[in-house]
Amino acid sequence: MLERHLSCLAPSGFHRISYVEWSLGNDAPTLLCVHGLTRNAKDFDVFAEALSDRHRVVCPDMPGRGRSDYLKSSAEYGMPVYLADMAALIARLNVESVDWLGTSMGGFIGMMMAAQPGNPVRRLVLNDVGPFMPKAAVERIGSYIGLDPVFPSLEAMEQALRVVYATLGPMSDAQMRQMTENSARRRPDGSFGLAYDPKIAEPIKAVAPADVDLWRVWDAIKCPVLLLRGARSDVVTRETALEMTKRGPKAQLVEFEGIGHAPALLSADQIGAVRAFLSP
């Protein structure tokens, strides 16, 4: 695994994107893994290592997350900058096409990319995200996005995150500790906070909560799509998931019992579903 950096341009100036690459070289198919709204590239460490036997796996920290720069203007946290950054990253990787796996926000970005004429997405994996998200789920996400809690220790942070991430499904103590370490940033006073810019919430909270309806985007996608869904998810209802199998690119659907939003991609069955879909 190698950590690399890329300078990208937003309206307020340049910012640095951090990404990690699990490389088999340029001859291997490239798999781009893009994380959720408040998460970062390290969510994919276990998954990327597993898939790196066949793929060149690249996992970016989106701006304002992980080790990437915070944007100078909070208004720029949105699809135009995210899409431009990912287009620049694909150009840096020097490939004509990529497979795309996106969790939640990363899936929205992937759908937007895959709907563009002449896009580079060969196959698209959506991890618990689709073209319709109910208002109730938007409100739930809005209730915690942008919070900036402070924890005196990693142990205290882990106890809080055990509650927050209970929907991800069963995790061992070691996996939970790793999830906590991946979620943390050390503050100047030695305490711990979450590894994202709280200002990513400002564009979201600037508009009244409403259903997210991207069916027109969905219907423009031409590449094969795999939808992974937590059976308890409120972000992708079962009704929406079934509709996704019938229209547009007609996704393959794999559901995981006992899991909400979103599958953590740590278990053999979840990793295996993606591997089978991406295999030639």
In a domain, 196, yes or no: no
In a domain, 153, yes or no: no
What is the reported pLDDT for 25? Answer: 63
In a domain, 168, yes or no: no
Residues of the chain with pLDDT under 50: none
Using CA atoms, how far apart are residues 56 and 41, in angstroms rounded to an integer?
15
- Radius of gyration of the chain from its Cα atoms, rounded to whole angstroms: 18
In a domain, 190, yes or no: no
pLDDT digits (tens, 9 = 90+) for 34-50: 999 999 999 999 999 99
In a domain, 28, yes or no: yes
Looking only at the bridges linking them, the beta strands covering 56-60 and 2-10 are: unpaired
What is the reported pLDDT for 280? Answer: 65
- Note down the domain range covering 87: 2-132+213-278
pLDDT digits (tens, 9 = 90+) for 198-229: 999 999 999 999 999 999 999 999 999 999 99
- Closest to 227 (Cα-Cα) out of 146, 107, 48: 107
CATH classification at residue 128:
3.40.50.1820
What is the reported pLDDT for 16? Answer: 98
Q: How many domains does the chain have?
A: 1
In a domain, 186, yes or no: no
In a domain, 217, yes or no: yes
What is the reported pLDDT for 168? Answer: 84
In a domain, 23, yes or no: yes
